[in-house]
């Protein structure tokens, strides 16, 4: 804008308005005044001096539009960030669960999950087992349904329950207030108990393999876990973290600013050349003829 203002005729003014005959002209758009206009635009405070020529107004309008979008985007992003900060803390992994003491966690007493924690060599799981074992009142329950009910009934969601993933999936399809966090602690398969050396063991093994390879087992799980339920399916909304405002999100406004600056330069150059032509006509200056005479 500093350069364009130098080219625009209307930005040059008589510093002595009481002397209309004065030929001295002054341009108010110094670097200091231009920076003052820029700061006033960003802070939405305005400025006591405004451009008069078309090219400088084009640049100013482009800058105002640019500042409006940038500040609006920043304000919206900041508001979303502060809103996320004000929410109650969330736990998204077993590591985060073990690192805090506010939410108590338990499991089925004398079940396979308890055996897993008792026999694990992982220091994290050993620490969690020690914590659960020493909690008062007890965090252990007598059945999975009791554990699910305790999760739902505990005030402010301050109880978490360890459970087999298939059981969690089944309960989550029927109780929409439940939420699963983290991945699997361990991976094991189900089996069918039979007498030792039973004659029909191989036959059942083969039948199960056929069902698994054909996808029948997944179809049955889909049926009894999701289709055969009471009521409508849960409409779970995945919460997403607020991303930082990236340059790609506001790249278009930079293009608008650059187009505005380029357009202002074109207009300023056109006005400058037009004013030179008008001045040469008024002063009867013929540059081409004078050059030929010389």
77 burial via Cβ count (<10 Å: 0-12, 13-18, 19+): middle
14 near 32, Cβ under 8 Å? no
Q: What is the residue-averaged pLDDT of the chain?
A: 81
What does each C-alpha distance from 5 to 58, 101, 133, 265, 267 come to in angstroms? 11, 65, 78, 10, 11
Q: Binding-site residues for L-glutamate, please?
A: 112-113, 164
pLDDT confidence band for 286 (50 / 70 / 90): low
Separation CA 264–CA 242 (nearest Å): 38
Separation CA 237–CA 36 (nearest Å): 47
Going along 94-251, which residue ranges are E strands? 104-106, 159-161
Kindly state the average pLDDT of the residues 48-59: 83
Q: What's the CATH class of domain 94-188?
A: alpha beta
Strand pairing category for 26-27 and 159-161: unpaired
Give the pLDDT confidence score for residue 115 in this predicted structure. 92
pTM: 0.50
Please state the domain extents for the chain.
1-83, 94-188, 247-283
290 near 30, Cβ under 8 Å? no
Q: Binding-site residues, please?
A: 112-113, 164
Residues 86-140: tens digit of each pLDDT = 555 678 889 999 998 889 999 999 988 999 999 999 999 999 999 999 999 999 9
Residues 161-219: tens digit of each pLDDT = 999 888 898 998 888 888 888 888 888 778 888 888 888 888 999 999 999 899 998 99
DSSP string computed for 4-54: HHHH-GGGEE-S-TT-TT----EE---HHHHHHHHHHHHTT---S----SH
């Amino acid at each position: 804008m500093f350069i364009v203002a130098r080219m625009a005729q209307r930005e040059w003014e008589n510093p002595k308005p009481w002397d209309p005959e004065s030929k001295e002209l002054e341009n108010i758009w110094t670097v200091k005044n231009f920076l003052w206009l820029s700061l006033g635009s960003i802070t939405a405070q305005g400025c006591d001096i405004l451009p008069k020529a078309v090219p400088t107004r084009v640049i100013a309008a482009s800058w105002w539009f640019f500042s409006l979008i940038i500040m609006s985007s920043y304000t919206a992003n900041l508001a979303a960030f502060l809103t996320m900060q004000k929410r109650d803390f969330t736990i998204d992994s077993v590591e985060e669960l073990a690192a805090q003491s506010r939410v108590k966690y338990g499991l089925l007493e004398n079940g396979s999950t308890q055996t897993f924690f008792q026999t694990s060599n992982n220091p994290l799981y050993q620490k969690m087992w020690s914590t659960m074992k020493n909690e008062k009142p007890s965090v252990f329950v007598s059945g999975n349904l009791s554990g699910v009910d305790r999760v739902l009934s505990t005030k402010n969601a301050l109880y978490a329950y360890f459970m087999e993933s298939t059981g969690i999936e089944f309960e989550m399809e029927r109780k929409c207030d439940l939420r699963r966090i983290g991945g699997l602690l361990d991976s094991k398969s189900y089996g069918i108990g039979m007498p030792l050396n039973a004659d029909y063991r191989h036959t059942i093994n083969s039948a199960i393999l056929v069902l698994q390879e054909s996808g029948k087992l997944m179809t049955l799980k889909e049926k009894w876990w999701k289709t055969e339920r009471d009521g409508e399916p849960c409409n779970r909304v995945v919460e997403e973290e607020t991303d930082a405002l990236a340059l790609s999100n506001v790249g278009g406004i930079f293009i608008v600013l650059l187009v505005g600056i380029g357009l202002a330069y074109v207009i300023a150059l056109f006005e400058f050349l037009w004013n030179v032509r008008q001045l040469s006509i008024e002063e009867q200056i013929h540059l081409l003829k004078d050059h030929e005479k010389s």
